[in-house]
Structure 1
Amino acid sequence: RTALIRQLENYRNIDCLQSTTLFLIFDSTDLYTMIPRDGALNALARLLNKYSKNRKNGNLSIERILQLARMALEANYFAYTGNYYKQIRGGAMGSPLTMVLANIYIYIDDVFMTTNISYVDIIKPLDEANTKDPNIKITHIVQSAVNFLDVAIKNKDVQLITLVFHKPAAEPCVLPFSSDHPRYTNRNTVYCDLLRVVLICSDVNQFAPEGFNFKLMLIMSGSALPFINHHPRRFFEANAVMNVWKNFDDNVYQQLHRMLLHQSIRNGNKQNMGSSTTHLTLSVRKLSYHQI
């Protein structure tokens, strides 16, 4: 998500965002249950042959890995209304192996792109791709406003707008305050959700309703009023941006948004350098916690 927002803002900053810019998302329909088994196993064999040494991966030979993979694909049974069924196509939903095989066979099935070419020109290769494999059907959306992951993205008069996208099936709830979890878990929920919202929302007008909705979720979770009043406020105090909390100052909000995006870059670089400990930094200042 953070990488998506960062790339979109870079795209805008180098003047690639135009009035003609469209956003394209496409994915494969029921990919895991539709991948052809022989095709997936052949793709797995090519991958193993390319990266294995002496036709072995660890202590297992390529042949044994392929045998185990075929067994896992073919031994899927389930019961429904008193009858037993065997799955004869694709892999089982939720199976880690099915996910791996699908990624090997077609790489990834959720794609986001930006384009400045016409709708007709971008649709043509997608329609052609739908004829390549009878088992794989690609659905697509090409518009100036799309939803991808938990981000709603809009090109409104050459202005990039990003805000939180809530899936219709998602329940608006957080950890109940009466839960036996340690109290710091509830506090971390507040900080992490506010961090997510600030990273996603492009301006204070997009942030304001999310902040209000989050307060409602805390109320519905049974959170104590002192907790609701203190901890969201503490997030903005720690980042020295109380004007966002009090007055919805967009200039200050933009500074916070950019700071947290760059902070995420630095944390990612530290992690890539092999740091044994990953720290999620919410602020350049140290947060102090109060038992509320």
Structure 2
Amino acid sequence: MNKTETYECLGGNDPLATKWITQKQYERLCVKPDEVTLAHLYYSPKAHKAGTPLRPIFSGLKHPTIKISKYLDELLRPLFDKIALKTTVTSGFEVIKQLHEWSTHNLHKDTLLCAIYVVDLYTMIPQTEGVLAIKKILSRFVLKNNYFSYEDQYYHQIRGVAMGSPLTLTIANCYMFFFQRNIVKQITNPGGIYVRYIDDIFIIINWPTQHLHKQIDLWNNIDSNIKLIAQVGHSSNFLDLYVENMNGHLFTKVYRKPSYEPYYLPFNSIHPLHMKKNIPFAMFLRAIRYCSTFKDFLDEREDLRMALLLNKY
């Protein structure tokens, strides 16, 4: 909790009891006082990373800001999705479509692939700049009033946004949208591709390796709150997609993190049948879309068959 200086310990001073959240704010949030509880902090392990670091999750289903947070997210997210349509992706399939179209005329044997990870994005966004990024005064209320209890102590989040709040994703996306504007121009003007999914960025461009590394170093100086960790080469992993430049030919297949375990919703569970049917359908559809060679598709199909058998399908 001390790593990013994100939280301020309030000791035993309950922010509700001391009226740090005013009655007027309660009324605007439409939450009954007897239903309000502070959020609780828990940790989700990042099993795919070295050392298994913990991701702090802000669980606040009855937190005072939850309703206004949901309302703002419903208003702002569609607007952001429309504005950032060209640089935002939600799946590996969207990346593949862009890559195949781009590679027809632009892929060379020296073309570089670059996957970039934004370190601790949610907790590193400055709250004031986060509000400015979405230009909505109500968002300041949501950002500035994230309280939770942990081990009999009360905490106030004074930096970043709470992972678990409905508005957090939209704020992070808006903040990154303004952060990346000049980077997008640098990549797309010479004919490259730049796409982002929350804190994962994928770039493909015909630049010398040294020049790309130099640019990434410069990008890391744009904002002291945003740290980029890049993987540059002729192959890269982005989301669940593996991409490789094989002497000027595009090669793709399904990617799984080293921590992957073949466990899915068991077929003998009490979930509706249509949910269980959709799992193999979606998995095989992804294999068809992602695998650029028949051999890789057959390998993926066999892996899926064994995984489904393991889960009683």
TM-score by shorter chain over 0.5: yes
1:39-188 equivalence runs, <5 A: 39-45=129-135, 65-66=136-137, 68-107=138-177, 109-188=199-278
Paired residues of 2:243 and 2:250 also in contact (CA < 8 A)? yes
- TM-score of the superposed pair, with normalisation by structure 1: 0.64
Among candidates 197, 201, 212, match of residue 302 of structure 2: 212
- Note the alpha carbon deviations across 1:153-189, whole angstroms, 9 max, x for none: 1112323211111123443222211112343433332
Task: Find the counterpart in structure 1 of residue 99 from structure 2.
Answer: 8
The one-letter code matched in structure 2 to 1:5 is I
What is the distance in 2 between the residues matched to 1:218 and 1:17? 37
- Note the alpha carbon deviations across 1:228-267, whole angstroms, 9 max, x for none: xxxxxxxxxxxxxxxxxxxxxxxxxxxxxxxxxxxxxxxx
Unaligned runs of 5+ in 2: 1-91, 178-195
Change (3 A) 1:171 1:94: farther
Secondary structure at 1:79 match in 2: strand
Change (3 A) 1:185 1:43: closer
Q: How far 1:200 sits from its partner (Å)?
A: 0.5
- Note the alpha carbon deviations across 1:35-71, whole angstroms, 9 max, x for none: 11111112222xxxxxxxxxxxxxxxxxxx51x3222
What is the distance in 2 between the residues matched to 1:44 and 1:4? 26
What is the distance in 2 between the residues matched to 1:69 and 1:92? 13
**What's the % identity of the aligned pairs?**
37
Q: How far 1:112 sits from its partner (Å)?
A: 1.3
What is the distance in 1 between the residues matched to 2:168 and 2:278? 33
Change (3 A) 1:187 1:41: closer
Among candidates 105, 111, 116, match of residue 26 of structure 1: 116
Q: If each structure's helix is expressed as a fraction of its own residues, which one has the higher value?
A: 1
Q: If each structure's strand is expressed as a fraction of its own residues, which one has the higher value?
A: 2
Unaligned runs of 5+ in 1: 46-64, 224-292
Change (3 A) 1:77 1:170: farther
Number of residues paired by the alignment?
202
The one-letter code matched in structure 2 to 1:112 is F
Q: How far 1:105 sits from its partner (Å)?
A: 1.9
What is the distance in 1 between the residues matched to 2:261 and 2:231? 25
Higher Cα Rg, which structure: 1
What is the distance in 2 between the residues matched to 1:184 and 1:222? 16
- TM-score of the superposed pair, with normalisation by structure 2: 0.60
What is the distance in 2 between the residues matched to 1:195 and 1:10? 20
